Chains A and B, each alone.
Chain A
Amino acid sequence: MVELAWISVAELARMIRGKDVSPREVVQAHLERIAALDGTLHAFITVCADAALAAARAAEADLVAGRAVGPLHGVPIGLKDLFETKGILTTAGSRILADHVPMRDATVVERLRAAGAIVLGKLNMHEFAYGAEGWNEAFGDVRNPWDATVARIPGGSSSGSGAAVAAGLCPGALGSDTGGSIRIPSSLCGITGLKPTYGRVSRSGVFPLAWSMDHVGPMARTVADCALMLQAIAGHDPADETTTVLPLPDCVGSLTGEVRGLRVGLLRGFFVDSCLPGVVAAVDGAAKTLETLGARVEPAFLPAAEHVASAFFAILASESLAYHASWFRARGHEYSADVRTRLARGAFVTGMQYVRAQQVRRRVRDEINALFARHDLLLAPTTPIPAPALAQREVELPGGTRNLTVALISLTSVWSFAGFPVCSLPCGFADGLPVGMQLVGRPFDEATVLRAADAYQRSTDWHRRRPPVGG
């Protein structure tokens, strides 16, 4: 049964359709791993064992009866506990919502179910997605399965999603990303995550952190799985007016393995100056691999990235406190200490600073678009460090000591701030821990991002490595 837990979403879907394995066997195998490992990893807040097994039996009956099935038929998927699920506890990782059972599914959950996916459970996370570390006072700190002593963070805020997929507790998961919350845990846990273009995937039924920067996307062990899941969840949603009416190209069909002629800008300066050498070496190695495959790699620079931290913070602090204000006034003591402090900071950002941040946002977006006149993709590390220890609050980087949170989001926040599509995927190891890289594309060009990322995975095996915990 162990091996079923290491099969990809796409392969499981194919095997289930071909009746090589039953949905019940697949769900049961994952439930057994959760029972064996999650006491250590704390990746799940709620495991939907009975409902998942019932859905698996129904999926099996569909196949036996020869009914039409969706592209994810019978495949178990985990959901960050930020997504509303009808009749299933949805806490956003917070004591504030400890008893919250929604009356509806988030749009993306509806769409996953319509594609045939089975909800395996709700995944742990940094409280209300306000943290890049993955700590959680209420439900326990999620542990990174790549550390045999389970004393390192998985990264957040989609920490449970990262740890669960990496340890084979579910083959795929949904996460959300405001400053890197899909990509940071993907990088630190050695998996693949896609933050689509802002407006590509509905946020309806998803608890917001900062409306204007929140994104929803898939996390899995392969790029092909992320493409398959994106295909299921993307598209216009009348319930989220930011969603585009532009059709999603065939992202799965675009995975040709072909990157010849693609112009890749290898981001230098800001994007490598504060990275540990092992991280830079891994990403430079990936650039060489892409070159070997036929891509043209050239250095690229984004000077405006220097200003992103100030502007990103002004927007994040203002929007997050605006959303939480009522709860925060009445029940502030129920938030965990770190999130309470983070939310409170929003009271000290002025309206003028918020608007100036939005001016910076336009300037940064314009500078990135100018880069895309010369490049088809941009390549950069995802995080400047591999997974740090649970108790760590600062990191030593070239250039000096930095606050851990600031360091973790330093290379990811620019892309959610500006709304561009990014895939984070494994590209090596440093000190025995996974290193991730980001491939960034033009707005609404997820297909090219995924094609290049998939081509890279076809010629490397970083994404196939298994962690010491559960491997």
Chain B
Amino acid sequence: MPPVSVEAMRQLAALNGFQWTDEDLERLRPAVERVMGLVARLEDLSLDAVEPVVQYRVG
């Protein structure tokens, strides 16, 4: 995973309704980079034919 910029983090956080300071984002950055690296591995899997698990009951 390439390093994640504070600016990119700010935009993603804002999309989710969080207004964090640069200091907050800088502190979070190592954890976010680890997580993005971990979750990015999902992209390497061949899952096109697999229906996701869902839990939904009507009524």
Contacts and interface: CB of A to CB of B under 8 A. Distances in A.
B41 A307 contact: yes
B17 interface: yes
A348 B12 contact: yes
A325 interface: yes
Given A241-B57, A347-B16, A365-B53, A360 B47 contact: yes
Contacts of B32: 344-345, 348
A365 B50 CA distance: 12
Nearest to B59: A241
Most central of A309, A314, A347, A356 by chain B CB within 10 Å: A347
Contacts of A317: 35, 39
A362 B52 contact: yes
Contact of B51 (A329, A344, A359): A359
A401 interface: no
Interface string B33-50: 001101101110101001
Interface string A302-327: 00000101110110010001000100
Given A345-B31, A347-B18, A348-B36, A311 B42 contact: yes
A360 B42 contact: yes
A360 B32 CA distance: 22
Nearest to A346: B16
Contacts of B52: 355-356, 358-359, 361-362
A359 B47 contact: yes
Contacts of B35: 313, 317, 345, 348-349
A283 B36 CA distance: 34
Interface string A238-273: 000110000000000000000000000000000000
A363 interface: yes
A342 B50 CA distance: 29
A298 B50 CA distance: 30
9 contacts: A310-B41, A317-B39, A344-B20, A345-B32, A348-B9, A359-B50, A360-B50, A361-B52, A361-B53
Interface of A: 212, 241-242, 307, 309-311, 313-314, 317, 321, 325, 328-329, 341-342, 344-345, 347-349, 353, 355-363, 365
User: What 5 A-B pairs come out closest when comparing CB atoms?
Assistant: A358-B52, A359-B47, A359-B50, A356-B42, A347-B16
